[in-house]
Chain A
Amino acid sequence: MNDPILSLDKVHTHIGQHHILQGISLNMKAKGGATILLGRNGAGKSTTLRTIMGLTPASTGRINFKGKAIENKKTHEIARMGMGFVPEDRAVLFNLTVEENFRLSMIEENEKTHENLNEVLELFPALKKFWKTKAGLLSGGQRQMLAIARVFVCDHALLLIDEPSKGLAPIVVDQLGESLLRIKDKTKVILVEQNFNLARQVGSDCFILDDGQVVFHGLIQDLALDKTMMKNYLGI
């Protein structure tokens, strides 16, 4: 069974007067590694994720998640269907401790989520050290780890992760890659990622966006070979 877990069909999104997404169509299979969204700054990658999540709702077009139309659903309903989201701005709750940040992310606190939590903390030992510290006092990189780690404690069907490697030390990026590889078997991941090495390590297929439209879809290995594509849209 390999039905698409998520599909967007001619999705347009307006923010105020601006026409940001201009007919995005995507299809993502449930299995087989992460899907990467690439594109230059301002291409509409973050807006695509926010539109899927219902934060900046689509003005027209259809979005299907697990076979159900979600374009008219509220954000919290979409989240409850099994979609997790890591926004790009290291979004953690500054006034809550690390512990409270994790508790917040556990929609249900049961054996399974506590087990997940222990696993996650092994992956990011720094967070364990600051367990009772307010997240606002963590360093930027630690906050980024927390923002990512907190979605790993619940089992999602789909994770939307926006530029997780931003501001992380290379060794932590490696850890991150490892953790993404580890979850990709049970959870589908859509990753916005500028770090092409990380993208290649965890991704299978990729979409390139430009000016709110899809300009490329294919396997990430193929893209790596396509010199003109790489140069025009990624500047590599």
Chain B
Amino acid sequence: MTTQTIAFNTDRKLMKTGLNRIIGIGLFLLPLIWMDLTTYLTLTIAGISLGMLIFLIASGLTLIFGLLDVLNLAHGAFFAFGAYAGYTVLNFFNSLGWIETASLSSSLFYLVAALCAAAGVGALLGIVTEKLVIKKVYGDHLMQLLVTVGVSFVIVEILKIIWGVNDEVVPVPMGFQDSFILYGVFIEYFRIITIILGVGVFAVLQFFLKKTKIGIIVRAGVENREIVKTTGYNISRIFTLIFAAGAGLAAIGGTMMAIFNQSVDPGMGDQFLIFALIVVIIGGMGSVTGSFIGAIIVGLSFNYVAFLVPKMALGVNFMIMAIILLIRPKGLFGKD
């Protein structure tokens, strides 16, 4: 190729991505035709916060896939276990009578406590799973699918033994049930907290991977384990840590979802694993940015469509996934 044709091609590429963006944004303004602005804004904020919830679980999945090349179908089980762990903490505060009277700031405190417990339990579960099972199936996708489905069953059974098989009502701290009004739109505090948490996790992950020494070691380890080992780093410990972090993120997502839905049930993992998988595929396997954008797309379209054509709400996400895969087989941010 001559330099001229290269320049021409990059020009076309730029124009194409620009055009794609305009089409994308246009699509998300489209619902305005059928609803008034207040409804649209309410749905948009709800959609973004749902997206952030999904991002929390998808980010762990994409981290584990992108960095460790492990297809982890036990991710939904980590998510459910985290939800129950957070529920237990909130229940404890509730038994003291603190939840119903909580101000916004003490609600935040209870939330942080619940999230820490969930993250801890999730990370622990991740460490055990990685050391006992995953370690033996690195590099073998089929085996990964089989054993992680097995792990998922085991975790859910343990969960049922500890917490029982029924749905439980999650006590939501009083401060989160309030809302404030902005330009005529009711906004619940919990939605804003979800968005802040999601964006925060995204920023921390980006910073961690791009700027820190550990991030460099992790990216290096994914590319070439041998160099990392011969430089003097214990790569298997680093991989365990990554898996634990991914599981911890799933567990945090679980607690947030438990509060969002005000309930937990042993099967909740499967349901959201599907959401997370869609997001990861739309965003491009292994891309944290992709999952972030993918989660927002899924959250928004779910909410718009649930309002307009309730029966289509879940289906539309599969449609979006199919369309995106047709245009970009590797997902929005997938690497070739």
Contacts and interface: CB of A to CB of B under 8 A. Distances in A.
Given A91-B224, A94-B223, A95-B223, A55 B230 contact: yes
B284 to A, nearest CB: 15
Contacts of A100: 216, 219-220
A15 interface: no
Interface in B194-237: 213, 216-217, 219-220, 223-224, 226-235
Contacts of A142: none
Contacts of B219: 93, 95-96, 100
A91 B226 contact: yes
Given A104-B216, A104-B217, A93 B224 contact: yes
B226 A76 contact: no
Contacts of B231: 76, 79, 104-105, 107
Nearest to B230: A85
Interface of B: 213, 216-217, 219-220, 223-224, 226-235
Interface of A: 53, 55, 74-76, 79-80, 84-85, 87, 91-96, 100, 103-105, 107, 109
Nearest to A147: B227
B237 to A, nearest CB: 9
Contacts of B224: 91, 93
B39 to A, nearest CB: 45
B220 A79 contact: no
A84 B257 CA distance: 48
Query: Lowest 4 A-B CB distances belong to which pairs?
Result: A79-B232, A75-B229, A85-B230, A80-B232
B228 A104 contact: yes
Contacts of B235: 76
Contacts of B232: 76, 79-80, 107
Given A74-B229, A79-B230, A93-B220, 11 more contacts: A76-B230, A80-B232, A84-B230, A87-B227, A87-B230, A93-B219, A93-B227, A96-B216, A96-B223, A100-B219, A103-B216
7 contacts: A55-B230, A76-B234, A91-B226, A95-B223, A100-B216, A104-B220, A104-B228
Contact of A91 (B213, B227, B233, B234): B227
Nearest to A101: B220
A75 B227 CA distance: 10
A161 to B, nearest CB: 12
B229 A79 contact: yes
